[in-house]
């Protein structure tokens, strides 16, 4: 497989992308009747980039970040969040979520790690939407295209938002954008993690790296390469099958809830048509 081809397709003009995303943020936030943004800041690459974009678009006085640590959150998460807050001079609120999450699971002590992780993600989004009302600020999403396609996120949790500026950028592309925006090196270089439990990493759970996935996704999704061509390019059939399964299996997360269409059942056939004026 020619990695250079996929890598070339993943290259972005970071300056141009930054300008476009800042315009997008201004347009969408003002169109919704707001002038402020609120972001869940984890200290990771994606939320750091979104914070920096919002500061460029709106000014630091109009950007609020909320840190929401759970008792298992790593020291690096807290340290990197503080570094972004100090770098950008945004308004910051710290709201730990341990008490409410643990209170719920006292009733369900047998709950799996996945249930607890999803509860944390949804608790955080619930807080963000409450702060949205309190601050009159729109909730800005931080999920990237790789995560969205692979379903690596919690529905109505970290995948939720009013506006998402980075949802059409792969993780690989966000690394390039981070370089341009001068995200601190330790944040760019650290292993991607949702920090859901001690030692958790995205790539361990997925079973492959974002770099590997992005090379396949850009050809499969953006350029519609058929399976035979992907195999000829060097992608393992098992890897293609796994990624295709994840995209298909998690498609419901990328849509608004399905509504059963009943108009054909309830429509009165004997109701006279309106006269044309």
Q: Helices 98-105 and 113-135, interaxial angle, to 10°?
A: 140
pLDDT of residue 121: 96
With bands split at pLDDT 50, 70 and 90, how would you rate the model's confidence at 204? confident
With bands split at pLDDT 50, 70 and 90, how would you rate the model's confidence at 195? low
- The H-assigned helical ranges of the chain are 3-10, 14-31, 45-58, 75-88, 98-105, 113-135, 145-150, 171-180, 185-189, 202-206, 210-217, 227-232, 237-249, 263-266
Average confidence (pLDDT) over 189-204: 74
Residues in the chain: 277
Q: What is the tens place of the pLDDT at every residue in 111-159?
A: 999 999 999 999 999 999 999 999 999 999 999 999 999 999 999 999 9
Q: What is the tens place of the pLDDT at every residue in 33-83?
A: 999 999 999 999 999 999 999 999 999 999 999 999 999 998 989 999 999
pLDDT of residue 273: 67
Residue 276 pLDDT > 90, yes or no? no
- Higher pLDDT pick, 1 / 212: 212
Beta 91-94 vs 138-139: how paired, if at all? unpaired
pLDDT of residue 264: 76
Phi, psi values for residue 187, rounded to 5°: -80, -40
Render the burial of 225-249: b for 16+ CB within 10 Å, e for the rest: beeeebeebebeeebbebbeebbee
Query: At 39, which helix (H) or strand (E)?
Result: strand 37-40
What is the CB-side half-sphere exposure of residue 181 using CA atoms within 13 A?
Answer: 32
pLDDT of residue 266: 77
Q: What is the tens place of the pLDDT at every residue in 228-264?
A: 999 999 999 999 999 999 999 999 999 989 899 888 7
pLDDT of residue 199: 67
Sign of CA dihedral 239, 244, 250, 254: positive
Average confidence (pLDDT) over 207-216: 93
With bands split at pLDDT 50, 70 and 90, how would you rate the model's confidence at 201? confident
Q: What is the tens place of the pLDDT at every residue in 22-31?
A: 999 999 999 9
Q: Helices 210-217 and 237-249, interaxial angle, to 10°?
A: 80
pLDDT mean across residues, the chain? 93
Average confidence (pLDDT) over 183-194: 88
The percent of residues above 90 in pLDDT, for the chain, comes to 83
With bands split at pLDDT 50, 70 and 90, how would you rate the model's confidence at 206? confident
SS3 string, 209-235, reads: CHHHHHHHHHHHHHCCCCHHHHHHCCC
Contact 202, 177 (CB under 8 A): no
């Amino acid at each position: 497989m020619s990695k250079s081809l996929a890598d070339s397709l993943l290259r972005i003009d970071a300056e141009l992308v930054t300008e476009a995303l800042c315009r997008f943020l201004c347009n969408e936030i003002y169109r919704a009747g707001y002038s402020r943004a609120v972001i869940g800041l984890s200290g990771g690459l994606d939320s750091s980039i979104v914070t920096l974009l919002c500061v460029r678009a709106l000014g630091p006085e109009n950007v609020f970040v909320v840190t929401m640590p759970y008792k298992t959150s790593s020291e690096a998460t807290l340290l990197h969040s503080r570094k972004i807050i100090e770098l950008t001079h945004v308004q910051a609120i710290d709201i730990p979520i341990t008490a409410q999450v643990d209170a719920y699971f006292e009733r369900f002590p047998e709950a799996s790690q996945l249930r607890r992780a999803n509860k944390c993600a949804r608790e955080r989004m619930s807080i963000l939407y409450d702060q949205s009302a309190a601050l009159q600020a729109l909730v800005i999403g931080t999920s990237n295209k790789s995560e969205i396609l692979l379903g690596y996120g919690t529905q109505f949790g970290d995948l939720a938002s009013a506006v998402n500026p980075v949802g059409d950028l792969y993780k690989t592309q966000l690394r390039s954008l981070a370089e341009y925006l001068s995200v601190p090196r330790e944040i760019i270089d650290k292993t991607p993690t949702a920090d859901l439990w001690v030692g958790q990493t995205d790539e361990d759970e997925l079973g492959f790296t974002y770099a590997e996935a992005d090379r396949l996704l850009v050809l499969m999704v953006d350029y519609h390469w058929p399976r035979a061509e992907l195999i000829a390019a060097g992608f393992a059939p098992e890897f293609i099958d796994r990624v295709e399964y994840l995209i298909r299996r998690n498609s419901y997360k990328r849509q608004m809830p399905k509504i059963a269409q009943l108009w054909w059942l309830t429509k009165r056939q004997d109701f006279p048509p309106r006269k044309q004026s």
